[in-house]
Structure formats: C-alpha cells, structure tokens
C-alpha cells in the first residue's frame, strides 16, 4: 500500500537521481499516445508520467562544477505586484522601417522576432550531487520585468537545486550574459514557476490578453528546443480553452500547430503584436497525430504568477492536513477492513488536529461524497480555507468498528505539506 496526501500525490522520500542513470544514453520510448513536457532532459518527461503511464526520456548531458554559487537576491525590498512589474514594460518601439498590417500586427515575422526574442531566456537546472553542481535539465523562460523576474514551467525547475539563466542582449551590446537565479516559487498543479535574477534594464515581454484570441490567429513559439537557443516556430491558434492536464487546478490551454519540442517548456507563445499570450508547456506525441502543441493561457497564468511572486505559493487552496493510505474496496473486502482513506498522520500545526480525528481512522466520505470511488483532491478543490467539512469516519473499537461524523476546518495549502 502506498501513502498519499489529500491531493492524491504519492508520498515518497525525496531523492536525487543516481549518477549512472543520468549518464546513460537512453533511447526515446514512444507509445501509441503519450504527452510530454517541452523541457529538455529528465525534467521534460514530467507531464508524460503525470497524465499517462507512457514515458518519453531524452538523452542527458552532464556537467560538473565543484563551486556551488548562490544568487544574491535582495529579500528586504517590498514585493512588487505583477502590474508594477509590467508597468515598466513597453510594447516594442515602432520603427519606420518596420511594416505593420492594418490591424497593427507585424507584417513580417523577422521584425516581430527581433523585437521580442531577447525576452526569452535559456535555463540550466542543476542538482547537488555529492557536493558538485551537476547539470540535470534545460528549458526556457520568459522575462516579465526589466529587473529580472522570469516565468517558466514547474516541470523545468522542480528537481533543481541551482539555476542559471542565459540572457541575450541584442538590443544593447549584442552580448549574452549568464546569471545565477533564485527560485521565487513554483506550483505543480498549474505547472508554473517564477525565477529571479539580479539584473537591470532587461528586455521584458509584454503580457497580452489571451481572451482576445480567435482560432486561426497567427502565433509564434520562441524557446530553446534541444538546446538550440532562441528557435522560432510559426503556426496558428488551433484551439482554445483546452483541458489537457489532469491536475485539479490545471489552467486552460491554447492549442497550436506551431512546432513544440523538448526544451521549449517555459518559453513564450506570442501573438502578432509581439505580446505573450501563453507559456508553452506540452505537446502530444503519437504515431496517429502531429502538430499538437499547448501553452498555458497567459490570462489564467497571471494570478498564479502574482501569488508566486508575493507569497511563493498559490493562495486560496484548501488543505485537510493529513497523510493516508487509500484502501480500495477489493482489498478491504479481502481482509475485512474498512475501505477509504486510512489516516497515517495528522499535521499538529493545522486545524484538523483539533477535530477529533485520530491516526488509524478511515475516512469514507467528505461532505457526503465518497472518497473510495471519488477523487478527494477534486472534492477539496471546490472548498476554501476556513470551510468546515463533515468527515464520515470508521473507527476501530475493542469489539467492532463504529462510524462517526467529525467536523473539520480546512486550512490553506501553502505548498509546504
């Protein structure tokens, strides 16, 4: 039996990949249908294992460096809002030599790319392996402020201990610079993360309005697929409001036929005005389909980005505050025990500890909804911190099991449990 938290995430002891696993050359295994994140290396397989049992594994390149630098980020300054950060960002300056269509979009892709490409960065993610900084994966990111806030995917950075960001500066001296970055916050449910580098006067992208998109609009994906820095692919908006991720808080996605490949994860999907309308995060890989790429809509991402910058986590999510073993009915019938969520531990710092729930109790329902056949994380997704729920609990006694109703107050999920 495996242990879970109430988000249905299996509880495992954190561990870093073994070195021999990283250095082995592994052929890509593609099943009939699989979905993969656009990150390079093992991090790029995150979404594959999340939605399907099929996995696509990329070759991994290693680099070692015994020095383990930590970025010097000033944490004493007031936390800016996303509006504050974007207030300093202006749309690409009009140039009399640049031609525009009648609706204000760029007439030529080359001009759009020249205006926005410096806002796309190249991210190296490293782990601490036996005291050495070891390259683990690579991906892309979008600069959203002149002073160095960068949006990327959670699956690009989630396994990392150290992050470096390569920034192109064609608008100024034409030189690229590499910075150590601090992880400000990440969220697995929405697959978004924010990094920060200490820099000034960067070329930041303008965040557009994804609600104004129409199927058939031109779009442009810019990122670093397979380490090919600042690669551009052009396509159209193939679909809107796609729900392609199984996470309960997954944001709606834009479907595009622009080429998306491993390493594009965290890069920008731009409209014809040079505005970011999505954060590229996945594609379908299938022998029966092609040109099915997806990006998180920027309008849905804005609130997540705001919370990650200001709090380090996404606020407003309810948390019960337990770990449990899920006992299926088949197993319960075989061994004569209750089916449901058998409580393994209770967080003493949260409100659940004052509810009367005990370790060893088996929760069968929350507010009348079965947790045996239903998804407890989906039940909690409809709740807010501070809400009171009624737990139907089976408690073992000296002679027989008895069923009780327990009132429990939900806490806020700060991402630390």
Tens of pLDDT, residues 157-204: 988 999 999 998 766 666 789 999 999 999 988 899 999 999 988 999
Among candidate residues 118, 189, 191, 300, the one labeled active-site is 191
Please indicate whether residue 155 is annotated as part of the active site: yes
CATH superfamily membership of 316-412? PDZ domain (2.30.42.10)
Instruction: Find out if CATH 2.40.10.120 is the number for domain 16-67+101-315.
Output: yes
* Lowest mean pLDDT across 16-25, 122-131, 378-387: 16-25
Residue ranges covered by each domain of the chain = 16-67+101-315, 316-412
Residues contacting residue 288 through CB under 8 Å, at least 6 positions apart: 32, 33
Q: Does the annotation count 253 as an active-site position? A: no
* Average pLDDT of the segment spanning 106-111: 92
* Alpha-carbon distances of 105 from 90, 161, 217, 274, 307, rounded to whole Å: 16, 40, 11, 8, 31
Catalytic residue at 355?
Answer: no
Phi, psi of 300, rounded to the nearest 5 degrees: -70, -35
* More confident call, 390 vs 29: 390
Catalytic residue among 137, 140, 155, 411: 155
pLDDT tens digits for range 276-319: 999 998 877 767 767 788 999 999 999 999 999 999 999 998 99
The single residue of 119, 265, 355, 377 carrying the catalytic annotation is 265
pLDDT digits (tens, 9 = 90+) for 340-397: 999 999 999 999 999 999 999 999 999 999 998 767 888 888 899 999 999 999 998 6
Per CATH, 16-67+101-315 and 316-412 having the same topology is answered no
Q: Which of 40-49, 128-137, 206-215, 226-235 has the highest mean pLDDT?
A: 206-215
What values do phi and psi take at 146, rounded to 5? -65, -25
């Amino acid at each position: 039996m495996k242990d879970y938290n109430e988000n249905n995430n299996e509880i495992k002891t954190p561990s870093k990949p073994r070195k021999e696993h990283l250095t082995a050359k592994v052929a890509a295994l593609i099943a009939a249908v699989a979905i993969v994140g656009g990150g390079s290396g093992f991090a790029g397989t995150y979404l594959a294992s999340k939605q399907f049992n099929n996995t696509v594994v990329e070759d991994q390149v290693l680099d070692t460096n015994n020095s383990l630098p930590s970025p010097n980020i000033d944490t004493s300054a007031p936390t800016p809002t996303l509006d504050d950060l974007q207030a300093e960002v202006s749309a690409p300056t009009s140039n009399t030599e640049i031609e525009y269509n009648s609706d204000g979009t760029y007439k030529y892709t080359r001009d759009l790319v020249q205006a926005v490409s410096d806002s796309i960065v190249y991210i190296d993610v490293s782990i601490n392996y036996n005291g050495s900084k070891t390259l683990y994966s690579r991906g892309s990111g979008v600069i959203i402020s002149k002073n160095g806030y960068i949006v990327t995917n959670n699956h690009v950075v989630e396994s990392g201990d150290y992050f470096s960001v390569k920034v192109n500066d064609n608008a100024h001296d034409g030189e690229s610079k590499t910075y150590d970055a601090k992880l400000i916050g990440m969220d697995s449910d929405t697959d978004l993360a924010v990094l920060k580098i200490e820099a000034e006067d960067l070329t930041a992208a303008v965040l557009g309005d994804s609600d104004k998109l129409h199927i058939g609009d031109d779009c442009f994906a810019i990122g670093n697929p397979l380490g090919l820095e600042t690669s551009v692919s052009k396509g159209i908006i193939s679909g809107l409001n796609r729900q392609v991720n199984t996470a309960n808080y997954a944001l709606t996605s834009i479907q595009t036929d622009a080429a998306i490949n491993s390493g594009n994860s965290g890069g920008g999907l731009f409209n014809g005005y040079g505005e970011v309308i999505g954060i590229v995060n996945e594609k379908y890989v299938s022998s029966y389909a092609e040109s099915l790429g997806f990006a998180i809509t920027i309008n849905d991402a804005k609130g997540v980005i705001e919370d990650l910058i200001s709090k380090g986590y996404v606020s407003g999510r309810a948390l019960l505050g337990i770990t449990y073993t899920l006992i299926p009915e088949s197993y319960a019938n075989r061994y004569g025990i209750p089916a449901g969520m058998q409580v393994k531990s209770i967080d003493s710092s949260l409100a659940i500890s004052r509810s009367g729930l005990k370790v060893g109790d088996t929760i069968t329902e929350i507010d009348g909804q079965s947790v045996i056949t239903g998804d407890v994380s989906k039940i909690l997704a409809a709740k807010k911190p501070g809400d009171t729920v009624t737990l139907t609990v089976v408690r073992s006694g000296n002679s027989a099991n008895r069923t009780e109703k327990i009132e429990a107050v939900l806490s806020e999920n700060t991402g630390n449990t």
